[in-house]
């Protein structure tokens, strides 16, 4: 059984049961579709019975000599935070059966934002969560053992989308901007981008919590905010409504671990094989995203509830281009955040970015030849 549960602040649960397709044999004497009796031997006569017994013995001997090996199945509670296409490798890993292939029985749980999902991880309600650098840095600076083991999205990919009357970043001054919530990666991304664009986010703008991508677009449409940070395909949806795609933040080349696979050091110590299986499944899912355009667009359409061909194509191109073949969680993606926090946080100023990531899982995948085999290199 695979269960999806909404975060506490989202509400609602639903269950997807995986029903067996194997039918029980009918009772003896009940005719089958072809008229045969399932509990009566098909072979007639002693020779046929002997032949059947011999074949059965040979089959048993074959299986004893060549056992079929499959990865032991382990349960994993996996959270994903914020309604964003950056989670497409997890969606593919689940929808295409890659987690199960690598020995994981997943319980996939959605949270409306990263900080809430991290609270669940720290509280022991999750084993793994896909989330961003701020949700690793903040709890670890507070003494937690949170660590990122894979980088799914290693850079900024969102856009600043504004009212049609705003034609330059300079005109964002004095305006209200919308992010998911305070402390989320969308807030951090917007603040860092504004500084690169010569706009002081604290003095020149007001940044407010507006919810996920759909809610932020709604807030922009209602005039509650004048600019927001959005990802594809919501950028495309905003353009269709007449809003301006003002800045592609990826063009600013700011290193930050926008999304990654996060767990705790205590979980790695207690359940390293389980964590390694999830890492392997997500790494294979990244390969599938990069090499299966139509299959990935179908997964995006299903999860985003969007059918617009251009929006799906733009979304696919955006994410397939930035997903890394070897998803190392590079310390540089943490350092950007620590440097930003350092003037206000002495612990951030003294912190070593390397302690926030664990590179060993990707190193194992590379040294074993797993990644090379995926890409046939």
- The structural domains of the chain, with segments of one domain joined by +, span 74-154+256-374, 159-252
pLDDT-based confidence at residue 27 (cuts at 50, 70, 90): very low
Please give the mean pLDDT across all residues of the chain: 84
pLDDT of 361 higher than 90? yes
Strand bridging mode 146-155 / 128-131: unpaired
- Reported as a single tens digit per residue, the pLDDT across 231-254 is 999 999 999 999 999 999 988 988
Fold exhibited by the domain 159-252: D-Maltodextrin-Binding Protein; domain 2 (3.40.190)
Flag whether pLDDT at 46 surpasses 70.
no
**pTM reported for the whole predicted model:** 0.75
Q: Helices 293-304 and 88-95: crossing angle, nearest 10°? A: 100
Would the CATH topology of 74-154+256-374 be identical to that of 159-252? Answer: yes
The rounded percent of the chain whose pLDDT value lies above 90 is 70
pLDDT in tens, 331-351: 999 999 999 899 999 999 999
Nearest to 319 by CA among 349, 296, 353: 296
| Domain 74-154+256-374, CATH among 3.40.50.620, 3.40.190.10, 3.30.350.10, 3.30.565.10 | 3.40.190.10
Q: Where are the alpha helices (DSSP H) in the chain?
A: 46-65, 88-95, 98-101, 114-122, 134-141, 185-196, 213-221, 234-240, 265-291, 293-304, 309-322, 332-341, 346-350, 360-367, 370-374
């Amino acid at each position: 059984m695979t269960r999806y549960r909404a975060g506490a602040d989202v509400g609602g649960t639903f269950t997807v049961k995986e029903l067996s397709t194997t039918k029980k044999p009918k009772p003896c004497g009940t005719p089958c579709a072809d008229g045969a009796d399932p509990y009566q031997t098909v072979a007639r006569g002693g020779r046929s019975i002997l032949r059947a017994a011999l074949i059965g013995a040979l089959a048993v001997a074959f299986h004893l000599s060549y056992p079929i090996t499959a990865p032991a199945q382990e349960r994993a509670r996996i959270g994903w935070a914020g309604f964003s296409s950056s989670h497409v490798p997890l969606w593919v890993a689940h929808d295409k059966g890659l987690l199960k292939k690598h020995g994981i029985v997943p319980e996939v749980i959605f949270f409306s934002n990263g900080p809430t999902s991290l609270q669940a991880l720290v509280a022991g309600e999750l084993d793994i969560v896909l989330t961003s650098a701020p949700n690793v840095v903040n709890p670890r600076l507070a003494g937690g053992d949170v660590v990122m083991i894979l980088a799914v999205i290693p850079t900024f990919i969102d856009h600043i989308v504004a009212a049609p009357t705003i034609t330059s970043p300079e005109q964002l001054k004095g305006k209200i901007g919308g992010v998911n919530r305070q402390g989320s990666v969308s807030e951090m991304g917007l603040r860092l981008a504004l500084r690169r664009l010569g706009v002081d986010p604290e003095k020149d703008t007001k940044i407010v919590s507006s919810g996920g991508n759909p809610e932020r677009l709604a807030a922009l449409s209602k005039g509650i905010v004048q600019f927001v940070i959005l990802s594809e395909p919501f950028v495309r949806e905003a353009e269709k409504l007449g809003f301006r795609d003002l800045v592609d933040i990826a063009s600013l080349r700011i290193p930050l671990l926008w999304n990654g696979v996060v767990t705790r050091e205590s979980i790695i110590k207690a359940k390293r094989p389980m964590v390694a299986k999830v890492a392997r499944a997500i790494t294979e899912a990244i390969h599938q995203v990069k090499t299966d355009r139509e299959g990935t667009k179908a997964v995006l359409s299903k999860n985003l509830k969007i059918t617009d061909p251009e929006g799906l194509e733009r979304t696919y191109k955006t994410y397939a281009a930035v997903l890394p073949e070897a998803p190392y969680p590079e310390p540089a993606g943490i350092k950007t955040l620590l440097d930003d926090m350092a003037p206000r946080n002495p612990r951030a100023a003294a912190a070593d970015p390397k302690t926030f990531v664990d590179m060993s899982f990707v190193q194992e995948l590379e040294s074993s030849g797993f990644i090379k085999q995926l890409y046939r290199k």
